Chain A
Amino acid sequence: MQPDVVLSRVEKSFAGDAVVRGVDLAIRRGEFFSLLGPSGCGKTTTLRMIAGLEAPTGGSISIRGVDMAGVPIERRPTNLVFQKLALFPHLDVFDNIAFGLKLRKTPAPEIRRRVAEMLDTRSVASLSGGQQQRVAIARAVVNEPAVLLLDEPLGALDLKLQTHLQEELRQIQRALEMTFVYVTHNQAEAMAMSDRIGVMNAGRLEQVGAPADLYLRPATRFVASFIGQTNLIDGRIDAIEDGKLRIEAGGLRFVADAHAGATVGAPATVSLRPEQIRLTKARDDGSDALVIADATFMGASVNYRLQGRGLTLP
């Protein structure tokens, strides 16, 4: 299927300061795509460029096959849910949601029907918080844009409400089969909702993939450490056999799937997820052993700090 949003070699710099550096990305139709990265990595700027609030200084953006260069924000088939929501304070809930429809000269009965749909299907009154977020999302969704852009709209909410609205967003997205592009710095949020995630760092797209891919097969050191907890151990490739890499790192030996371009003797970093470590009884001769130096009870799990051979693993 033709992708909904295509970014090719998109660059953005503010006063000579490169914020987004050569981002290539194709977002599929009907997909929940998250741009994940630490603050200042250029994810919001990328989103604003898709929305048309910023013009790229290089590269091109096209939506549904149409190049967006020179298409002003008000004529793009996108709607943005702002981080600060930007609900119009001089209008009530109804008029906020109806804002986009009225501008498109939608007949009044249809406006009433569609706004009511937005309000009815979600029980606004029953919730103590998050109503503003709901109205902001409704104001954008009611226009039925090709692509809905969301800039961390749930950031200000407490964890419980966040989780609740995440589920709801996912439901809305599935029901409408709308393409969502969601910007967040919260990896748990991105993992919970997304079909695919693009991890950004310092203006570059580090890796694009399904949540499980990113977690289990991070392409870069940054992705490995940004998503979930991990232990990064530097070493080098000892041998390549049968599509497997033998890596020696920190005095420990690892086996990993080989990737193209791997050469014997090249430096390598092993990312070892805590849950992948199995604790066993020490061997009699004491070889290969890391010992538990410390243990922290976390409720559902216990965090061990392992020590040995000059390594400390949390």
Chain B
Amino acid sequence: MSASTNTKPLLLLAPSALVVMAPFVASLVILAAYSVDYGPNGVGPDLTIWRNFLSDGYSWSVIATSLRLAASVTLITLLVAYPTACAILRIRNPLLSAIAYVILFSPLLMSVVVRSYGWLLLLADRGFVNSLLAASPFGLGPYRLIYNETGVVIALVHILLPFAVLPIIGALLQIPPIYREAAADLGAGPAAIVWKVTFPLSLPGVIVAAEIVFALAVSAFVTPSVLGGGRVLVLSRLVYENIGNVQWGLAAVQALILLAIAVGALLILERFNRSTFAKRAG
């Protein structure tokens, strides 16, 4: 490939790269600067804030909560999203299909604050869900569904579902029906077709879905705050509180760790994605 054809795409990328990357890099630099801010004696920069944060057991419990929350939200969202995507694709009637998409996107039509308070009402000790469980023939509950991780997970899965369903639908649509026909011809029943052909071929879409959902879940702020009622402490929450307390250095450290977690998860999932693709090529 000649140099001129090589530079053209780069030139085309330049404006978007500038818009996206410049503020990102600049803010990273500023964050990094804050995190190694001059010490109380005016000497520095040093790593005191980093050292203090990372040696504190409390910090690690918050990081663990953030990770656990994001991971369980990602897993549950994928488990709900995959059958949802399959079901939506099976709808033949165009009107019903359109209605399904509207319902799918309905969580995004509402402000995150309103939606979170809505879930608070639904999941409260004497809320709709617990009343329903109590009125059921099994007479279940009441369960504690708010001000703990359960409520946060439920509400996050709700909002993040469309972000997972769409990439999976895209991946499923890209699978030519001929592969399913070939599998059936070779003796695969409906379940075997899904498990041995459709699902593996849709994995790239599932991985993209996991990346998006994890990144959004680990940095979610409003939902953990409202439904956690201050009892579910995640990194984003700490960042917010420390900015309020003018602990900017600490907030910067926490923000960078949050970013590192998101990037780390992305890299792991991408690696997984590439290995499935490598298998495809071979």
Residues of A within 8 A of B (CB): 51-53, 72-75, 78-80, 82, 84, 86, 88-90, 92, 99-100, 103-104, 139-140, 143
Q: Is A86 in contact with B184, judged by CB distance below 8 angstroms?
A: no
Main SS of chain B's interface residues?
helix
| Chain A residues within an 8 Å CB radius of B282 | 92
Contact surface of B with A, Cβ cutoff 8 Å: 176, 178-179, 181-189, 192, 196-197, 200-201, 203, 276, 279-280, 282
B145 to chain A, nearest CB (A): 40
Please name the residue on chain A nearest to B179 by beta carbon: A86
The reply to whether A103 and B185 form a contact with Cβ atoms under 8 Å apart is no
Task: Given A82-B181, A82-B182, A84-B178, answer yes or no on A90-B280 (Cβ-Cβ < 8 Å).
Answer: yes
Q: Is the CB of B185 within 8 A of A51?
A: yes
Residues of A within 8 A of B178 (CB): 82, 84, 86
Q: How many A-B residue pairs have CB under 8 A?
A: 66
Q: Are B276 and A74 in touch, CB under 8 angstroms?
A: no
- Residue in chain B with minimal CB distance to A98: B186
Measured CA separation A79–B181 after assembly (Å)? 11
- Do A53 and B187 touch (CB < 8 A)? no
| Set of chain A residues within 8 Å of B176, measured between Cβ atoms | 84, 86
Q: Which listed residue (A53, A75, A99) contacts B181, Cβ 8 A?
A: A53
B-chain residues with CB within 8 Å of residue A52 when the two chains form the complex: 184-185
Q: Are A90 and B200 neighbours in the complex by a CB distance under 8 Å?
A: yes
Given the known inter-chain contacts A84-B178, A103-B192, please indicate yes or no for A90 contacting B185, CB distance below 8 A.
no
CA A104 to CA B188, docked complex, whole Å: 9
Q: Decide if B187 touches A88 in the complex (CB within 8 Å).
A: no
Q: Which of B178, B184, B280 has the most CB of A within 10 A?
A: B184
Check B279–A90 contact: CB distance below 8 A: yes
* Interface CB pairs A-B, < 8 A, 12: A51-B185, A53-B185, A88-B183, A89-B280, A90-B203, A99-B183, A99-B186, A99-B188, A99-B196, A103-B196, A104-B187, A143-B187
- A72, A100, A104, A143 — most chain B CB neighbours (10 Å): A100
> Which of A53, A73, A90 is within 8 Å of B201, CB to CB?
A90
Partner of A100, one of B186, B197, B201, B279: B186
